[in-house]
Structure 1
Amino acid sequence: MEILAILIVFGLIFTVITIIFSFIPVGLWISALAAGVRVGLITLVGMRLRRVPPAKIMNPLVKAYKAGLDVTVNQLEAHYLAGGNVDRVVNALIAAERANIDLPFERAAAIDLAGRDVFEAVQMSVNPKVIETPNVSAVAKDGIEVKVVARVTVRANIDRLVGGAGEDTVLARVGEGVVSTVGGMANHKEVLENPDAISHTVLNKGLDAGTAFEILSIDIADVDVGRNIGATLQTDQAEADKKIAQAKAEERRAMAVAKEQEMVALVEEMRAKVVEAEAQVPLALSEALREGKLGVMDYYHMKNIIADTEMRDSFGRMTESSSEKSNPHDPAKGLGPDVSE
């Protein structure tokens, strides 16, 4: 029984020691002391209580101490609690120190919290980056399309990384400058002969204002001739004018057809009225005979006049028909020259 009690006591002691050593990073504390960084165990325990992994603070702290940087535990822990990347900030500070770039810890932390890669920004300040624009389509004054691809060499501007525009803004401004420069040239041959004129003009516009970069150079990588935009626009305009003219002609034709139909209806109406009036003539004659206003001899005399008129009309039509047969090329009919002359 005594042996069992001794084993239980040793087991409890071992468990307590294991829990203590798992909660207190003694090994991390010893490695920090070996590197010359003096941090108390209470500080490491406080990190545990604040749910801050001690390794994510101590390892960058040791790295910064070895690089000769003046960084405290509170600064690194505060940046970690704010959601920043402590290791990346320390790497950026070390790189800036080696490159003789003035980068305080507060600015590096602000850049990191702004969502930018501060370490990459420091590297870009030392080693400029080349970004290539997409195919920019511009049209010269002669209407010929020119496709330009430019390579922009940029260097990160540490002072404007917080609040400065990114690469997309730089590319958009360069594309706008290319379009305006090509559009100001008299013809596309000038662009092909002097592509460097585009880079010089665009570079002098100060396109890096308000961005997180400093434009070092703009080089024209490729220039191609595209479509004849001017001719295409003229063709489209001519086609549009043609359709407008056809629409107006169709409108006039429709109005003429409507007018013709209106005249036909009017003629039919007048013809109906004439037929109606002619139908009233026998009634009027009979009424005049009954009332004595028209005698029988007067009626027969009128019928003779009508018959004589119809006979004369018949003779006139026969004369005109025979005249047309004898002179088929009558100039009055538009069929040929007058042979009588």
Structure 2
Amino acid sequence: MGDIGALVALLVVAIIGLSVLLYFIPVALWFQALLSDVKISLIQLILMRWRKVPPSVIVNAMITSKKAGIEITRNELEAHFLAGGHIQLVVNALISADKANLELNFKTATAIDLAGRDVFEAVQMSVNPKVINTPPVTAVAKDGIQLIAKARVTVRTNIRQLVGGAGEETVLARVGEGIVSSIGSSLSHKAVLENPDSISKVVLHKG
């Protein structure tokens, strides 16, 4: 019985040791990368663990980009991850932009991502403009009559101007200001009702 107990204990220790070894040396992940023609060594995968970078995130991103014909280096992906970026969103954005013939490089995509914007959604909005509805805006014309207006705004993202540019909340705020300004400068509420396009002109003029 003692020999059996010792054998079981040894087996348990061996299994735990093997699990720890495979965690730090992700052979399966390395083999998957090898089959996908992604050049990365076991040493590099081990070092990722020590740098607290999930090897699977980097390898999967490299495989995805490789299949799409987009060259991104391991160092670039690691650096972006360590900077707090979203690897998969950036890769998906680059692939989507490439398919839509949009000019977007890794540096620009990561800058957009680190600025707190959803870079993949931004690319989608460059291809398919998004329609957003403003909340009801209350304004008073010069004749003292109060009007409540709503607007539908079509937004198309300009990738080159996205970093530091206006987000959806800013767009809604500017449209709201334009509506208030347009109605407030009208001599009567009837003029607004008869020519609602005047509001659009003011909003567009304000940018």
TM range (shorter): 0.7 to 0.9
C-alpha separation in 2, matches of 1:189 and 1:22: 73
Matched, 1:134 2:132: no
C-alpha separation in 1, matches of 2:103 and 2:143: 51
Give the aligned partner of residue 32 of structure 1.
33
Give the aligned partner of residue 122 of structure 1.
123
- Amino acid aligned to 2:22: F
Larger CA deviation: 39-48 vs 181-190: 181-190
Give the aligned partner of residue 71 of structure 2.
70
SS at structure 2 position matched to 1:20: helix
Comparing both chains, which one has the higher relative contact order based on Cα–Cα distances under 8 Å and sequence gaps of 6 or more?
2
C-alpha contact 2:62 2:72 (8 A) present in aligned 1: yes
SS at structure 1 position matched to 2:150: strand
TM-fit CA distance, 1:89? 0.9
Give the aligned partner of residue 146 of structure 2.
145
Q: Which runs of 5+ in 1 are unaligned?
A: 208-341
C-alpha separation in 1, matches of 2:77 and 2:119: 15
SS at structure 2 position matched to 1:97: helix
C-alpha contact 2:174 2:206 (8 A) present in aligned 1: no
1:181-201: CA deviation from partner (whole Å, max 9, x where unpaired): 223333222221221222133
TM-fit CA distance, 1:56? 0.9
CA RMSD of aligned residues (A): 2.2
Q: How does 1:190-269 map to 2 (within 5 A)?
A: 190-203=191-204, 205-207=205-207
Larger CA deviation: 169-178 vs 39-48: 169-178
Give the aligned partner of residue 42 of structure 2.
41
Distance change in 2, residues 1:143/1:21 (3 Å):
closer
C-alpha separation in 2, matches of 1:108 and 1:67: 16
Q: Which runs of 5+ in 2 are unaligned?
A: none
1:151-188: CA deviation from partner (whole Å, max 9, x where unpaired): 11111222222222322222222122222222333322
C-alpha separation in 1, matches of 2:69 and 2:46: 26
C-alpha contact 2:134 2:151 (8 A) present in aligned 1: yes
- Amino acid aligned to 2:130: K
Q: How does 1:290-329 map to 2 (within 5 A)?
A: none
C-alpha separation in 1, matches of 2:187 and 2:145: 10
- Counting matched residue pairs gives 201
C-alpha separation in 2, matches of 1:81 and 1:43: 15
SS at structure 2 position matched to 1:170: helix
Using structure 2 for the length normalisation, give the TM-score: 0.87
Instruction: Calculate percent identity across the aligned residue pairs.
Output: 58
- Amino acid aligned to 2:30: W
C-alpha separation in 2, matches of 1:37 and 1:57: 11
Mark the structure with the bigger radius of gyration.
Answer: 1
TM-fit CA distance, 1:206? 4.1
SS at structure 1 position matched to 2:98: helix
C-alpha separation in 2, matches of 1:128 and 1:181: 25
